[in-house]
A = this chain, B = another copy of it.
Amino acid sequence: MRAVVIREPGGPEVLEVREVDAPDVPEGHVRVAVRFAGVNRADLLQRLGMYPAPPGAPPDVPGLEYAGVVEAAGKGARRFAPGDRVFGLVPGGAYAERIVAHEREVAPAPDGLSDEEAAAVPEAFVTAYDALVTRARLAPGERVLVHAAGSGVGTAGLQVARALGCFVVGTSRTQDKLDRCRELGLDAGVAAPGGKFADEVLKATRGAGVDVVLDLVGGAYVAEDLKACASRARIALVGLTAGASAELDLRELLRKRVELIGTVLRSRPLEEKIAAAQALERNISPWLARRAVRPVVDRVFAIDDAAAAHIYMASNASFGKVLLRIGA
């Protein structure tokens, strides 16, 4: 089968399409013919050698999410039959024509979605749902702040919050992306090119502050998050694009009784990956079927153009998801 392989750690040019062996199908697993794979920032880090694949995942083929068709079921696997349309998360290897996954990590693709749309769902929506609902216990009607609102996780997060009846404030580096977020339901946008947003967020919430923050940025944003928080707020920290070091005012954390919650999907044990996959099937798919939320596809690149897809992703120009077309 064909796969995008990281020849050696480096720039986009180290990605090359090679013929590799298709994986076997262990007991309890299914093999999926991948049609589309999502491109994620973690793939870029993995390509640079800064984010090695976890044990059990192919070390040199990136790709954390896919949509495709079941091709074969291993011994004891009963949830799917060949021909079933599925989507899901894998710890790596989705930039390839075939992947295998435990059948309980695989979810049926909703009927109303194309394969392309389905591939734009798993990483963005599972990350946003897990951070906002499972970890930060987002409740209906609360006020939410979503950073990088135009990103894949950002567009998913603001829609998840809106689907729960929340008031959503979003930040982005550009006004153009905020305007497009409004079409997805964003209530108020804050252009934050310098990383200062707390005053504007307080204004947008009439001084109340926000109950939950979905922070994909980290670094100095976390101190600003604290200022923008209401009493008993939860900050779900899922990314560190602005850096890993933060100087925090703990007095504010205590006084407001804020929870700062670190979370990451990667490197979880199997049972937790299955739980995340089940949120896809149980909680997110029904919303997708009823059009309460929808995946946002920005651009689709051919498998041979994986390097161009990485360059585009790194440019921060995308709105929503960047995908690779893998198979027919």
Contact = CB atoms under 8 A, between A and B. Distances in A.
Interface of A: 218-219, 222, 237-238, 240, 243-264, 267
B257 A262 contact: yes
Given A237-B253, A244-B250, A247-B248, 12 more contacts: A219-B250, A222-B250, A240-B251, A245-B248, A245-B250, A253-B260, A254-B262, A254-B263, A256-B262, A257-B261, A259-B261, A260-B260
Nearest to A219: B250
Contact of A246 (B240, B243, B250, B255): B250
Contacts of A243: 250
A219 B253 CA distance: 12
Contact of A248 (B248, B252, B267): B248
A91 to B, nearest CB: 15
A38 to B, nearest CB: 20
7 contacts: A237-B250, A243-B250, A245-B250, A247-B248, A256-B262, A259-B260, A260-B261
A259 B257 contact: no
Contacts of A258: 261-262
A311 to B, nearest CB: 26
Contact of A259 (B246, B254, B262, B267): B262
Contacts of A219: 250
A296 to B, nearest CB: 24
Contacts of A249: 244-245
Contacts of A261: 257-260
Nearest to A259: B261
Contacts of A252: 262
Contact of A263 (B222, B237, B238, B257): B257
A267 B256 CA distance: 10
Pick the 8 closest A-B CB pairs, nearest first: A253-B262, A244-B251, A254-B262, A260-B260, A259-B261, A244-B250, A254-B264, A258-B262
Contacts of A247: 245-248
B260 A264 contact: no
A215 to B, nearest CB: 10
A183 to B, nearest CB: 31
For A249, A253, A255, the residue with the greatest tally of chain B CB atoms inside 10 Å of its CB is A253
Nearest to A255: B264
